[in-house]
Amino acid sequence: MSVNLFYLTGKVALITGATHGLGMAMATGLGNAGATIVVTGNSSQQKLDDAVASYKKAGLKVFGYLFDVTDEDAVKTNIEAIESEVGNIDILVNNAGIIKRTPLAEMETADFEQVIKVDLVSPFIVSKYVVKGMIDRNAGKIINICSMMSELGRNSVGAYAAAKGGLKMLTQNMATEWAKFNIQTNGIGPGYFATSQTEPIRVDGHPFNDFIVGRTPAGVWGDPDDLQGAAIFLASNASNFVNGQVVYVDGGILATIGKPANED
C-alpha cells in the first residue's frame, strides 16, 4: 500500500463552520495532509478572520468565506467564487450545525425547523452546488458530519437527533446517486469531545461528566484531534471504495450497552 494514499497535496477542501471546535480540528488535519483549506463562518467577519489567522500561523494554506449555508443564493454565489478564486473543490466537509436543548413538548416549531434547516437542509444545499463540479470532473469526496444521535435518542435534543438521523440517510442517498461519478459520500459521527463548549461540565463530580466517562469504554472524553484521522481517510484515495458509511469516532460508546455504576 502506497503512503501516497493518504496525501491530499494539490486538493482543495471546503469545510463549513470551521472557525472553531471540531470543524477547526478536522480542517487542520486536512491542511496538514497537504490540502488547501477553505473555511466558512456565519457569525462575524472578525471570528472568521481570527480563525484564518490561526490556520495561517500553523503554516496552512487557507481561505475564508463568510456566508449562511442555509441561504441557497449565498451558497451558489460563494461556491462559484471559491472555485474561481481558489480552485475546484475536491473535498467537501458539511460540518456547520447547531443544537437547541429543549424538550420536544416545550419546543417552538420555529426552533425545531431552524435546527433541521441548519443541520440537514444546509448539507443538501451546499452539496448540490459543489457536486456539479465533482460530477464534471468524475471525482470528489463529500463528508457529512453526523452524530451518535444519528443512531440514538437523548432527552431534550429531539430536533438535533431528527436532523442527524436524516443526515445519515441523506449520506446514503448521496452515495447511491453519485457513486457512478467516482464520488464517495460518507459521514463521521463524533462522540463526546473535550471542547470549550463542554469545558464547564468536564469536571469530576459533574453528573454529565461522570455519565460520559462511565458510558465510554475508553473512559475519557475525545480530543478534537482524534477526528483528524477519520477526516483524512475519508477525504483521501484510501477510501476510494468506501461509500455511504458513517464512521463513528466515539471511544466505543455505540459498541456497548454500558456497565453498572458500581462496576470497574
Domain hosting 113: range is 3-193+224-255
Examine the pLDDT at 89 and tell me if it is beyond 70. Answer: yes
Report the alpha-carbon distance of residue 195 to residue 228 in Å, rounded: 15
List residues with catalytic annotation: 160
> Is 18 contained in some domain?
yes
- Domain assignment present for residue 23? The answer is yes
Query: What average pLDDT score do residues 70-84 get?
Result: 98
Mean pLDDT for 211-217 is: 92
Residue 9 lies in a domain: yes
Residue 173 contacts by C-beta under 8 Å, 6 or more apart in sequence? none
> Is 114 domain-assigned?
yes
Confidence check: pLDDT of 196 > 60: yes
The residue whose grid cell reads 463540479 is 133
Res. 232 pLDDT band, cuts 50 70 90: very high
Distance, CA of 27 to chain centre: 10
E strands, 36-102, in order: 36-41, 62-66, 91-94
Identify whether 200 is part of a domain.
Answer: no
pLDDT of residue 88: 98
Alpha-carbon distance 171 to 129, whole Å?
16
Residues 6+ apart with CB under 8 A from 141: 90, 91, 92, 183, 184, 185, 234, 235, 236, 239
Mean pLDDT (the chain) is: 95
Task: Please write the tens of the pLDDT for every residue from 158-184.
Answer: 999 999 999 999 999 999 999 999 999
74, part of any domain = yes
> Is residue 44 assigned to a domain?
yes
- pTM summary value: 0.96
Number of domains in the chain: 1
Give the Cα separation of 118 and 86 in Å (integer). Answer: 25
Residue 263 domain flag: no
Residues 45-69 have a mean pLDDT of 98
At 5 the pLDDT is 94
User: Residue 167's domain is classified under what CATH number?
Assistant: 3.40.50.720
Top-confidence residue, 36 or 204: 36
Mean pLDDT score, 220-236: 97
Beta carbons within 8 Å of 206's beta carbon, 6+ residues apart: none
